[in-house]
Each structure stands twice: as structure tokens, then as C-alpha cells.
Amino acid sequence: MKIRFEFIILAVIAAGLTLYLIFRPRERMNYELPVVERIQEKDVYGIELIRQDKIIKVTRSDGLWRIQPEGYRADSDRVGQMMEEIGRFSIADLTSETKNYRLYELDEKSRKRVIVYGKDDKVILQFDIGKRADLYQHVYVKLEQDERIFQAKGNFHTAFGQDREDMRDKLILSFEAEAVSKIDVSMGAKQISLTKKIVPATAEDQETEISAEQSAGKDDRSTTGNQAAQPQNTTRISWQRPDGTEWDAEQVDRLLDVISDLRCLKFAEDDVPLEAAYLKATIAAAGTEHVLTVYHKQGDDFPSTSTGNEFPFILSHYWVEKIVDFIEGKTE
């Protein structure tokens, strides 16, 4: 009887403990996460990236981002990635209060420091980036004047892990291909001058248009009764040389595909010698002349200049060969 009574007592205690664990009030966190004020792009005038002795600073002036102190034009997509992470930066969780920065790669040797400047070079946000956390798209971060280690969500290593060359805008020629009215290209004694003209479409042009649209399933004007399909375009573009002879329009389209949105491989050293030109292309589009000059090969590189970028650059062999192919296709 005594043993049975003890079992009842133990059962009551166990039930009580279970109910307590289920219905007890949750413990409140004994810390508060810092609230980072949202930053809008219009309020950012500069971003500085620091890792050990390497410093990259970009500043905004007159709507353009430039790398300082050289004044190189910064890639807008790269700056956009950084601005996206800055704009949504917030603290997700507290990780440690132990100041063990080396464990999280937040020590001076490993960290990436980001400083965001507002107007008049005022610091509006500063944080250090450490290694990736176990949680997806989270990294360890440390805020200025806060010794604790936190987690933040974002693609920080991609957005802020760029070097100076990555940050530079490699777009060196840009224009609307449809707006081009004149093309002049030369390579040594070979010169080609083409002017765009609008001329009446020939019967062959019209037949080709109808056939192409019917083959693509875009033409519902097929013969019905006595009604024959009619071409939509009664004119066409003709690229003509000074003597009136026509140049292959497809070749022109291929050339414009290459140089209307041209990016360099990398930028040349400031002291690269720019002597005799290997080839030159001058494109007139919407009242503006766009000029690309490729100089003779030096080692494995083609140093070049253009009106679209104020600094000399190295053009890819692939793009140079495409321009050469155009020049050698038909020459005077």
C-alpha cells in the first residue's frame, strides 16, 4: 500500500512538471538587437571598402560614380549591388559577446570594412563583414562602436568583395545601332565609307519578307481566294559607298552588334605607348561621332582608345578580329 502511494505521488509530480513546462511563460531575451536606420540611395555620396591596406572609395558627383583618387568611372551595376545591400542592411541576430573576432573572421587581418558616407563626407553607416554563417545568405558582422558579433542577411561577399579593376566601368563605346547614319572604318590603306539610305524595296526583298514571315508563322495574309499576301515594308535600308554601290546589310548589322555596346577586356597602364593606329572606326549616330582606335599589338594586347572612355584600355582579340573581318570582307 505504501509503495502504491509513492507511485501516485511521483505521477502527480511528473504531471505537474509537464504542465509547467508546457504552460510556463517564455523567457524574454535579455538583450536587444540594434536597429539600423534605413538608408536611401539618394542620401549616399560615397562608399569605402577597406581590407588590410587595400582601400577602394567611390564617390557620387553629378549623377556619376567615380573611383577615387584617380577619377575612374565606376561600373553602375557593381555600385548598384552595393547600394542594394546598404539599403536593406539590418541585424538579424546576436551571435556572440565574447570579442572572439578571429573565429568569425572579423579580426583586423580578415575583415572587410564598409563605410558609407552621406553629404559632406559624414559617416552614416559602418560595419565589418566576416565569414559566412551557417544560415543561408547570412554573414557575421560587427557594427561600429559595438563590440558584439551579429548576423545579417545579404549577399555581402559578392557586393563588397570587389577589387579596383572589377569596380571600373568597362563600357567603352555605346550607342543605338538603329540610330547610326554613317560608318567609316580603315585599316592601313583599306578604307570603307558607308552612308545609310532608305530606298524602295525590290520585288525580291518583298518576296523574301513574305516567305520569312510565313515560315515563322507570323503572317496571316496567305492567299485566300484571289487575295494574295502583301509585304508590310515597301522600303528598305541600303548601306551605300560614295560611288553608290551597296554594302551587304547583314555585314553592317554584325559590325554594329559588336561595337554598339562594346566593353574592354581590361584597362591599360597609364604609360602605355599609343603610336600608329592599327585600325579605326568612326560611327555617326544621332548627331554624335563615336570613335574607336585600335593600336598595333604590343605583346599579347591591343591597346585602344575611344570617345566613350577617357582612359586607354585593352580590347579583346575576338572583337578586333570581328572588325578586321568586316574591313576585309569588301574593300576599295
Q: What are phi and psi of 59, to 5 degrees?
A: -130, 150
Omega of the bond leading into 200 within 30 degrees of 0 (cis):
no
Q: Do 311 and 170 meet the contact criterion of CB atoms below 8 Å apart?
A: no
Q: Other CB atoms closer than 10 Å to residue 281's CB: what's the count?
A: 24
Region 183-210: mean pLDDT is: 82
The percent of residues above 90 in pLDDT, for the chain, comes to 67
Please report the pLDDT score of residue 190 as a whole number. 92
Could you tell me which residue, 19 or 168, shows the higher pLDDT? 168
Region 68-73: mean pLDDT is: 92
State the DSSP string of 9-26: HHHHHHHHHHHHHHHSPP
Region 90-115: mean pLDDT is: 95
Whether pLDDT at 56 is above 90: yes
CA torsion 206-209-212-213 (nearest 10°) is -120
Q: What is the pTM of this model?
A: 0.74
Closest CA to 192 of 303, 319, 291, 282: 282
Please report the pLDDT score of residue 283 as a whole number. 97
Q: pLDDT tens digits for 247-296?
A: 999 999 999 999 999 999 999 987 888 888 999 999 999 999 999 999 99
Please report the pLDDT score of residue 178 as a whole number. 94
Domain boundaries, the chain: 41-167, 171-208+234-329
What's the chain's length in residues?
332
Please report the pLDDT score of residue 59 as a whole number. 97
SS3 152: strand
Instruction: Report CA 47 to chain centroid distance, whole Å.
Output: 17
Element (H, E) at 181: strand 180-187
The pLDDT mean for the chain works out to 86
Place of cell 554601290: 245
Region 235-244: mean pLDDT is: 91
